[in-house]
Structure 1
Amino acid sequence: MKRTIIYGVLPLLAVACGHDGDFDATGTFEAAEVVVSAEAAGRILRFDAEEGDVLEAGRQVGAIDTVQLYLQKLQLERTAASVRSGRPDISKQVAALREQIAKQQTERRRVENLLKDGAATAKQLDDIDAQLKVLNGQLDAQLSTLKNNTASIDENTSSIELQIAQVEDRLSKCRIASPIAGTVLAKYSEAGELASVGRPLMKVADLGRIYLRAYFTSDQLSGLELGRPVTVTADFGGGERRDYPGHITWIASESEFTPKTIQTRDTRANLVYAVKIAVENDGRLKIGLYGEVKLDE
C-alpha cells in the first residue's frame, strides 16, 4: 500500500517540476470593480439593471423616490419669485425727482438770462441753486436707499437659488447610474426596497480592461519595467489554454508575503512583489481566472 502511494506521487512531482520552468510567475485576472451605492434615502421606484447587463457610463438604470425633494424645490422657487417681486424699479421711483430737478434747471437758465438783462435779482438765482442742491441731495439719498434694497433682495434671491441648486443636486443623486461603462457583476437591491445613503446597490466592472495580478520574487525585479511586453497564458480548465500578449502597467513599491494561492518560479521565496499586467480581453477572460506569465526576451 505504501509503495502504491509513492508511485502515485512521483509522477505528480515530475509534472510540477517540469511545468515550473514554463512560466515566471502566476496570478489571477482582475478588473476595476466599482460598487455603486445609494446617494439618497427613500424607496427604490425602479431598478432595471440585472447581473450580466452591460451598462453605459452615466446611463440611468433606476430611480429613488423624489416626491418630497421635488415639492421642496417648488416651494423654494415660489419663495424666490416672491422675493424678486419686491425688487424696486429704481428708474420709476426716482422719475418724479428727476423731473423736478429738470424743471428747476430750466428755471435757473431762465433766471440767469433775466439776470443778465437786469430783469431778475441774484437772490432769485441763489434760491433756485439752493432748491437744486436740496433736490439733488434727495435724489442721491433715494438712489442709495433703493440700491441697498435691491442689493439685499438680490442677495436673498441668490441664497434661495443656492438652496434650489442643493435640492437639484440631491434630486440628481436619486438617479441610479453606473459611473463607468461595464458589466453588472452583482445586484444587491430590488425595486420596492428602501435605500439608505451608502447602501450598495450593484457592483460593476469594466471587463474590457482586464489585468493579471501576478507575483514576482525579488531576484526577478531587475528584469521588470513598466511597459515591458510579456506573454500571458490563461488556463480555462480542462486542458484548454490560450496565450495573450500583455504589458506591465504597475509594479508594487513594497513586498508582501507570498499569497497561498500563488506559485512563483522560486516557491521557497517568502516575499514577492505584485505586478499588474494589462491584457486585451477577447471576451473569454473572466475575473478570478488563473493565468501564467512568461517574460518576453
Structure 2
Amino acid sequence: MADAEPAIHSARSDSDRKTPAPAAAAATVDADEGSRKSLRKRLMLGIGGLVLVTSLGYGGYYAAVGSHYVSTDNAYVGADSASITPMTGGQVLRVAVSDTQAVKKGDVLVQIDDSDARIALAQAEADLARATRQFGQTAATSDALAAQVQAREADIARARAQVIAAQADFEKSRIDLARRQKLAPNGAVSGEELTSATNAFQAARANLELAKAGLAQATSTRVAASGQLAANEALVRGTNANTAPEVLAARAKVEQAKLDLARTVIRAPFDGVVTRRAVQVGQRVAPGAQLMLIVPLNQLYVDANFKEGQLTRVKVGQPVTLTSDLYGSGVEYHGRVVGFSGGTGSSFALIPAQNATGNWIKVVQRLPVRVALDPKELQAHPLRVGLSMDAEIDTSAK
C-alpha cells in the first residue's frame, strides 16, 4: 500500500504538467484570431487591387479601343427585290421556274400567249406598207398637178385670144350698127338691114362677155390647180419615203407591236432566287399584276437599327463588321455605311406613336443605318432576306 501511493502521486504530477494554464490558452486563441484577421485583410486588399487593376485595364481599353466602336444586334438582311409583272396581258402558256429556284439574268420566267401580239404586228406592218405607198402616190401627184397648172396656163392663153377676137367682132358690129343708124333716116338702109346690124351688135357683145367669163374661169382654174400643187408639195417637201410623218408613225406602231410581242416572254432582270411565285399555267394575267419576286442574293444589304445615342460619330463610309446567326461568329462579313434612314422606325410605323399625352415616358429611338456588304463574301456565304445580323461600326475611321 505504501508503494502504491507514491505511484499515484507521480501520475497526477505528470497530468498536471501536461494540462496548459488558462492564460496560455487565451493567448493562443488571440494569436489565431489575429492571424485570421491578417489573412482576411490581405485577401481583401488583393481583391481590391485586382478589381482596381481590372477597372483601369478596362478603362484604358475602352478609351483606346472600345469607345471607337458601336454595335447592335438589331440588324436584318434586306434587298431591293424585283417584282415581276407583265407589260402585256394574256393567257399564261408556260411557267419555267418555281419558288426557291436560282435564276440567271435573261432566263425565261413566264411565257404568255402571243397570238394577239403576232396579229397586231402583222396589222402594223401592213399599215406601214400602206403609208409608204401613199407617200409615193403623193409624190407622183405633184407631177400631175404641175402638168395641170401648165394646162391651165394654156387655157388662159386661149381664153385671152378669144376675148381679143370677141372684142374685135364687137367693135366691128358696133361700127356697122352706128353707120346704118346714121343712114337710116335718109332711107339709104332698109329696116331689115338695120335690124340685122342691131342683132349682130348684140351677139358680138354677148360673145365678148362670154369670152371674158371664159378667161376669168380659166384664171380661177389655174389658181385652184396651183393651190393643189402647193398643198401637195407641202406634204412631200423635205421628206422621202423614210422620213415622211405618216411613214414614221406607221413604223413606230410596228416597233410597238414588236415590243409587245417580245414582252410576251418575261425574263429575269438579274441573277437571283425566285420567291412568292403567284402565277399558274392557264391563268389570264393583266398588265401590272405581280407574278413573283426575284431576290438578288449578290446585292444584299443590312439595315442596322442603332440607338440614337450611338450615332454621334457614325459617318457614311465607315467600315462595319458583321456576323450572322446563320453561320455564327466564325464567319465575318465586312461592309461600309452607305446612308441613314430619313426617320426612325416608329415615325414610319403604320400607326405612329403619339407622344403628346399627359403620361409621357421617353423611349430611346432607333435609326436604321444602311450597310452595303461585300459581294465576294456573299458569294462565299450566301444570306437570305430577313436574317438577323450583329453589326459593329468602327467610328474611328474617317
Pick aligned residue for 2:117 from 63, 69, 77: 69
Offset from partner CA, 1:149-179 (integer Å, 9 cap, x none): 547x944444433433433333333221233
Structure 1 portions without partners, runs of 5+:
1-20, 101-133, 260-267
Q: In 2, are the aligned partners of 1:65 and 1:174 still within 8 Å (CA)?
A: yes
Question: Does 2:297 match 1:207?
Answer: yes
Structure 1 291/156 Cα, relative in aligned 2: closer, same or farther at 3 Å? same
- Structure 1 counterpart SS, 2:276: strand
Looking at structure 2, the residues matched to 180 and 190 of structure 1 have their Cα atoms a distance apart, in angstroms, of: 22
Indicate yes or no: 2:368 matched with 1:274.
yes
Quick check: 1:160 aligned with 2:250?
yes
Q: Which has the higher contact order (CA 8 A, sep 6+)?
A: 1
Normalising by structure 1, report the TM-score.
0.65
The residue number in structure 2 matching 1:289 is 387
Paired letter, 1:244: Y
Q: Is the 8 A contact 2:272 2:296 kept in 1?
A: yes
Matched, 1:54 2:103: yes
**1:272, 1:150 → 2: CA distance?**
68
Structure 2: how far apart are the matches of 1:220 and 1:70?
Answer: 61
- What are the ranges of 5 or more consecutive residues in structure 2 without an aligned counterpart? 1-65, 152-218, 349-361
Partner of 1:39: 87
Q: Tell me whether 1:255 sits opposite 2:344 in the alignment.
A: yes
One-letter amino acid of the counterpart of residue 102, structure 2: D
Q: Is the 8 A contact 2:334 2:373 kept in 1?
A: yes
1:229 aligned to 319, 332, 341, which one?
319
Q: Among 63, 84, 101, which residue is 2:132 paired with?
A: 84
Mean alpha-carbon deviation: is it higher for 41-50 or for 75-84? Answer: 75-84
Evaluate the alpha carbon distance shift between residue 83 and residue 209 of structure 1 in structure 2; reply closer, same or farther with a 3 A threshold: closer
Q: How far did 1:219 drift? A: 1.0
Q: Identity rate of aligned residues, in percent?
A: 21
Q: Secondary structure at the match of 1:71?
A: helix
Asked if the contact 1:23/1:292 (under 8 Å) is kept, the reply is no
Q: Report SS of the residue matched to 1:243.
A: strand
Q: Secondary structure at the match of 2:302?
A: strand
What is the deviation of 1:249?
1.0
Equivalent position of 2:282 in the other structure: 192
* 1:117-151 CA distance string (max 9 Å, x none): xxxxxxxxxxxxxxxxx9x9898556424324547
1:85 is displaced (CA, Å) by: 2.1
Tell me, in whole angstroms, the C-alpha distance in 1 between the residues paired with 2:387 and 2:365: 23
Structure whose CA Rg is larger: 2
> In the aligned structure 2, how far is the partner of 1:80 from the partner of 1:221?
63
Q: Which residue of 2 aligns with 1:113?
A: none
Change in CA separation of 1:279 and 1:76 when aligned onto 2, cut-off 3 Å:
closer
Counterpart of 2:385 in 1: which secondary structure?
A: coil
RMSD over equivalenced CA pairs, Å: 3.7
SS at match of 2:129: helix
In 2: Cα distance, 1:172 partner to 1:64 partner: 10
| Offset at residue 291 of structure 1 (A) | 1.0
User: Contact 1:34–1:203 (CA<8 Å) still a contact in 2?
Assistant: yes
Pair 1:216–1:160, CA change in 2 (3 A): same
Q: Distance in 2 between matches of 1:170 and 1:61?
A: 17
Structure 1 residue 284, shift from structure 2 partner: 2.8
Q: 1: distance between equivalents of 2:224 and 2:78?
A: 77
Q: Could you say if the C-alpha distance between residues 284 and 75 of structure 1 is closer, same or farther in structure 2, counting changes exceeding 3 Å?
A: closer
TM-score (norm 2): 0.50
Q: Evaluate the alpha carbon distance shift between residue 41 and residue 139 of structure 1 in structure 2; reply closer, same or farther with a 3 A threshold.
A: closer
2:269 alignment partner in structure 1: 179
Alpha-carbon deviation of 1:69? Answer: 2.4
Native 8 Å contact 1:216 1:274 kept in 2: yes
